[in-house]
A and B are shown apart, each in its own frame.
Chain A
Amino acid sequence: MGKKKTFSNTTFLLLITIALFIIMYVAGMIIFADKGFSKPQMFCNLLIDNAGLIVISLGLTIVMITGGIDISVGSVTALVCMASAYLMEMKGANVYMALICSLGIGLAFGIVQGFLVSYMKIQPFIVTLAGMFFGRGMTAVISTEMISIKNKTFLAWAQYKIELPIGTVSKKGNFLPAYIYPTVIVALIILILVFIMLRYTKFGRSLYAIGGNAQSAMMMGLNVNRTKFIAYVMSGFLAGLGGFLFCLNTGAGFVEQAKGLEMDAISASVIGGTMLTGGVGNPIGTLFGVLIKGTINSLITTQGTLSSWWVRIALSALLLFFIVLQSLFTSRKRKS
């Protein structure tokens, strides 16, 4: 019947993703060696630029494992950035206030959307589509003009260099260490926490169970509604946190910010092996999905002449490829 696979689907898809990333990055290193692509700082920049996206994508992965989806994360990010900028610049609040406010916004979205999806049983796409429009609109309600953040503590947090033991040697023979920012550390900590939660806690396993077959999970004694609800709350919280990290990276709030970020997050998860139908998902895969997106971005930016829209197109094409692949897997399973 189906016993021929020596390792499961998940591992297989994960390996494809990792391989894809390595191929892309190495290709970049070869093609653009003269433009600094092969420097360790390039990789560090990859992490720095995408720290927020990593956290957001992890939240999305959690929700997608249960079979749901959340396309409001981009708007939540924009709202968080704008709210933080507004609080710090217009209302003189300190960074901690801004951080708490960001987490609060994320939680609010998670709670409301989670309630509508889990208890009112409304389709997640519609709920989070409305959430997306709500968030985007609220961003404009706060301010239609861009607000740059000049708060000293904030900027200190954003630009505090953490030097790494690897680096490059300059022409003069000086060792220039590669560096990362605290946002990267936060992202990696979240990654570890999410990994542990998904793999080693009852709650984490129940997410997979519900995504696999919600009816069975219920009959085996799991509280499906509550688990789904908590998943959305978690995703909202991570969207708030990730949005704040994103803000640390961009240093401003404006209406058009993070447009399409939800697509990046979904693509990263799907490319990382998360199945849209639920029940399958791997945070490590999501990380590599984000790195792939970042690499595509870097490749196209370094190339210089191609329009930035190519990043979106390439990502959509990859997403399409993986969606079709997943659907082929599922239909083959259904037949056998």
Chain B
Amino acid sequence: MNNKGILKKITGNHLFFPLVCLLVVLLINVIKTPDFFSISINNGVLYGYIIDVINRGSELVILALGMTLVTAASGGQDISVGAVMAVAGAICCQILSGGETSVSELQNPMLIAMLAALVVAGLCGAFNGFLVAKLHIQPMVATLILYTAGRGIAQLITKGQITYVRVESYQVLGGYIPGIPIPTPIFVAIAAIVVIALLFKFTTLGLYIESVGINSNASRLVGLNSTKIKFIAYIICGLLAGAAGLVSSSRIYSADANNIGLNLEMDAILAVALGGNLLSGGKFSLAGSVIGAYTIQALTTTLYAMNVSADQLPVYKAIVVIVIVTLQSEVFRSFVKRMKIKNTKAANTVLPNKGV
């Protein structure tokens, strides 16, 4: 294969775009903060900007996995994921505290609390899935309901307070496993990726989701049940949001209904788009979304380094989303095609009689 062929193969790969974006952001980070990549160990625990990015990006990675499936299957997004995170955190902490505002001992087994939280998160996903798959309501409209009501429900669960669980064992999930220098959330993110990967290995869900997202008609005629598949996608998204919520809650060993997962839905959508996935559904790449998630997290770090406050971040992210979505739009792509045809026509007329 000649050089041109290799170049085409690389740029044509679907992971090219997300990797380039990641590299660009990392580059900007290194320029701004020369010791961006340096890692050190203090008190038996890893430190460093890059560690921070990977650590804090864990929830986003988990969310992005679910968002990818929902986008692929239904051509729309689930904007309730942040709120579902808050609900999951609220349920877990409330069970662990046995109803108190602040405890220093677990009032109930941690496993039960976490499982309950995941179940409820899954139910939220099922709720969304029902509206979208069965009632054919637009995904963003359907999930708008939990987006609004979710945090209110979380508040009610914690009785309007922030419930604190000041117990060391609860902080492990969002902090460190004793004796291991790598922050636990990183492991949780890896675990989520592994679980989904296994799910796709031992079932045909990945293929079905793509098929339904690409052509619902043809999928039906080959025997697929698009209602069931979309429903499953939303449940998985809910469960993953629940897991992310538990990690977030463990980080701050509390349930802050107002702040857990705040604005993360936008980041998750961005991650999916940056991962090279079409927001209108169809073929998807989980790897792309994971790369996209870390890119967003690194971008956030960059912006912080440039003294952009947390409240101002959304401006930049909004612009990035608009740019990507415009580039993905049909109108833009056919415009580019027409320009290409014009250029090749011009090129061809310039070189006459090139010989056969």
A and B directly contacting (CB within 8 A): yes
Which one, B155, B316, B317, B331, contacts A309 given CB within 8 A? B155
- Quick one: CB contact mask for B12-51 with A, threshold 8 Å, 1 for yes? 0000000000000000000000000000000000000000
Interface contact A263-B315, CB-CB below 8 Å? no
In-complex Cβ contact of B266 among A69, A123, A133 (8 A): A133
- Within 8 Å CB of B279, what residues of A? 123, 126
| A123 / chain B contacts, CB cutoff of 8 Å | 279-280, 325
Give the complex CA separation of A69 and B312 in angstroms. 24
A260 CA to B152 CA, complexed, in Å:
12
Tell whether B101 is near chain A: CB-to-CB under 8 Å.
no
CB atoms of B330 and A129 under 8 A apart: no
Complex interface: chain B residues within 8 A of A313 (CB) = 149, 152-153, 156
State the CA gap A331–B131 with chains docked (Å). 13
Q: Is B227 an interface residue (CB 8 A)?
A: no
CA distance A129 to B268 in the complex (A): 13
For the complex, is A319 an interface residue (Cβ under 8 Å from B)?
yes
Considering only residues 100-159 of chain A, those with a C-beta below 8 Å from chain B are: 116, 119-123, 125-127, 129-134, 136-141, 144
Contacts of A116 in B (CB 8 A): 322, 326
Q: Give the CA-CA distance A134 to B321 in the complex, in Å.
A: 10
Q: How many residues of A contact B (CB 8 A)?
A: 43
Residue in contact with B152 in the complex, picked from A71, A126, A310, CB distance below 8 Å: A310
Binds B, one of A166-174, A244-252, A282-290, A320-328: A320-328
The answer to whether A263 touches B325 (Cβ under 8 A) is no
Residue pair B315, A133 in contact (C-beta under 8 Å): yes
Return the chain B residue nearest A71 by Cβ: B144
Q: A48-102: which have CB < 8 Å to B?
A: 69, 71
Q: A126-B321, A137-B314, A309-B152 are in contact. Are A276 and B326 (CB under 8 A)?
A: no
| Cβ of A239 under 8 Å from chain B | no
Q: Are B145 and A133 in contact (CB under 8 A)?
A: no
Please measure, in the bound complex, the distance between the C-alpha atom of A127 and the C-alpha atom of B280, giving whole angstroms.
13
CB distance from A261 to the nearest CB of B (A): 11
The interface residues of chain B lying within 8 Å CB-to-CB of A8 are none
Q: A156 to B107, alpha carbons, bound, how many Å? A: 56
Q: Which of B79, B269, B325 contacts A127 (CB 8 A)?
A: B325
Task: Assess whether B309 is in contact with A144, with CB atoms less than 8 Å apart.
Answer: yes
Q: When A130-B318, A130-B321, A133-B315 are in contact, do A140 and B152 touch as well, CB less than 8 Å?
A: no
Is there an interface contact between B145 and A319, defined as CB atoms closer than 8 Å?
yes
Nearest CB to that of A270 among chain B residues?
Answer: B141
Are B318 and A122 in contact, CB atoms less than 8 angstroms apart?
no
Q: Please give the distance in Å from B125's CB to the nearest CB on chain A.
A: 16
- What's the dominant secondary structure at chain B's contact region? helix
B151 proximal to A (CB < 8 A): yes
Size bracket of the B interface? 35 or more
Asked if A136 and B314 make an inter-chain contact with CB atoms under 8 angstroms apart, the answer reads yes
A120 to B141, CA, bound (A): 21
Q: Which residue from A120, A133, A315 sits with its C-beta under 8 Å from B326?
A: A120
Contact in complex: A263, B144 (CB < 8 Å): yes
User: B148 in the interface, Cβ–Cβ < 8 Å?
Assistant: yes
Q: A307 with B156: in contact, given A134-B314, A276-B138, A312-B149 (CB under 8 Å)?
A: yes
Question: In whole angstroms, what is the CA distance A72 to B12 when docked?
Answer: 36
Contact present for B331 and A119 (CB under 8 Å): yes
Is B325 a contact partner of A122 (Cβ separation < 8 A)? Answer: yes
In the complex, are the beta carbons of B315 and A138 less than 8 A apart?
yes
A327 touches B322 (CB 8 A): no
In the bound complex, do residue A129 and residue B79 qualify as a contact, i.e. CB atoms below 8 Å apart? yes
CB distance from A255 to the nearest CB of B (A): 5
A266 lies within 8 A of chain B by Cβ: yes
A69 partner residues in chain B, CB cutoff 8 A: 141
**B309 near A307: Cβ-Cβ < 8 Å:** no
Contact check, A307 vs B160: say whether CB atoms are below 8 A apart: yes
User: What is the distance, in angstroms, from A70's C-beta to the closest C-beta of chain B?
Assistant: 12
> How far does the alpha carbon of A69 sit from the alpha carbon of B131 in the complex, in Å?
18
Q: In the complex, A141→B269 CA distance in Å?
A: 23
Assuming the contacts A119-B331, A121-B329, A121-B330, asked whether A312 and B152 have C-beta atoms less than 8 A apart, the reply is yes
Measured between beta carbons, the chain A residues less than 8 angstroms from B318 are 130-134, 137
Complex CA distance for A320 and B311, rounded to whole angstroms: 30
Shortest C-beta distance, A161 to chain B (Å), equals 34
Contacts of A127 in B (CB 8 A): 322, 325
Q: Is the CB of A137 within 8 A of B149?
A: no
For A121, the closest partner residue in chain B by CB is B331
Produce 1/0 per residue, B291-317, CB < 8 A to A: 000000000000000000101111111
Provide a sorted-by-A list of 13 A–B residue pairs whose CB atoms are within 8 angstroms: A116-B326, A121-B330, A125-B140, A133-B318, A134-B319, A137-B316, A139-B311, A140-B312, A260-B148, A276-B137, A312-B152, A315-B148, A327-B137
Which residues of A come within 8 Å of B, CB atoms?
A: 69, 71, 116, 119-123, 125-127, 129-134, 136-141, 144, 255, 260, 263, 266, 276, 307, 309-310, 312-313, 315-317, 319-320, 323-324, 327, 331
Q: Please name the 3 residue pairs, one residue from A and one from B, whose CB atoms are nearest each other, closest first.
A: A137-B315, A140-B311, A316-B149
